Amino acid sequence: MDKIKVLMVDDESRMRKLVSDFLTRKNYEVIEAGDGEEAIDKFYADKDISLVILDVMMPKMDGWETCRQIRRDSKVPIIMLTAKGEERDELQGFDCGADEYIAKPFSPKILTARVDALVRRVYSMDSSECTEIGGIEIDKAAHIVRVDGQEIDLSYKEFELLTYFVENKGIALSREKILNNVWNYDYFGDARTIDTHVKKLRKKMGEKGDYIKTIWGMGYKFEI
């Protein structure tokens, strides 16, 4: 099997080398870029890039705009890195279509674990599985969701979240359980990650977004 390609984007060469060294040890192939414009050029030049690690504060084009441009054509998983820890910055990252958000300073081992988790979920999808329920069609092979026959544009993490809800329809799911199963790592934060993604998912699903019920004080339940 060919090595999985990861695009590492950061204007600090030391940070790029640190992350690259850790990922290379885990048998990833790392492509480096020093700013957003270079990242866009390299991303579109190589169709085999499976994941993007993206710093926020960069010259020429910041991480948020770079994320938006990639999201116009690709659902590749994106991990955002930033020195900022404020809630509004994290929410802006998710709003751009990022799947993960890690504040600096961080442990390279934790970052590598999150890369592993995202990649495992991408490659573990059953390519033959297609689910239809209540006017919602989920095609795992094509990574497509249709609502009443119309395709809707979901990020990788939104797709995973909806799939998890549908597979557990009628079951009340705590935020902790959702994080452990959809994000696939122990999450030491608060619930805003889940709530932000659910809000965006509901909006994209239109009337069908009402299928995702809020269980106050606990989490969510998918129910038709």
Domain boundary among 103, 123, 143: 123
Question: Are residues 11 and 114 located together in one domain of the fold?
Answer: yes
Highest mean pLDDT (candidates 85-94, 174-183, 195-204): 195-204
CA proximity to 190, closest of 182, 206, 179, 205: 179
Per-residue pLDDT tens digits for 122-169: 666 544 578 889 999 998 877 889 999 999 998 888 998 999 999 899
Domain boundary among 123, 149, 166: 123
pLDDT at 18: 93
Per-residue pLDDT tens digits for 6-58: 999 999 999 999 999 999 999 999 999 999 999 999 999 998 899 999 998 89
Question: Are residues 137 and 178 located together in one domain of the fold?
Answer: yes
Domain that holds residue 214: 130-222
Question: Are residues 113 and 217 located together in one domain of the fold?
Answer: no
The total of other beta-carbon atoms located within 10 Å of residue 161's CB is: 23
Question: Are residues 158 and 181 located together in one domain of the fold?
Answer: yes
Distance of CA 180 to the CA centre of its chain: 14
Per-residue pLDDT tens digits for 55-84: 988 988 999 899 999 988 888 889 988 776
- Residue 119 burial by CB count (10 A; 0-12/13-18/19+): exposed, middle or buried? middle
Split into its structural domains, the chain has a count of 2
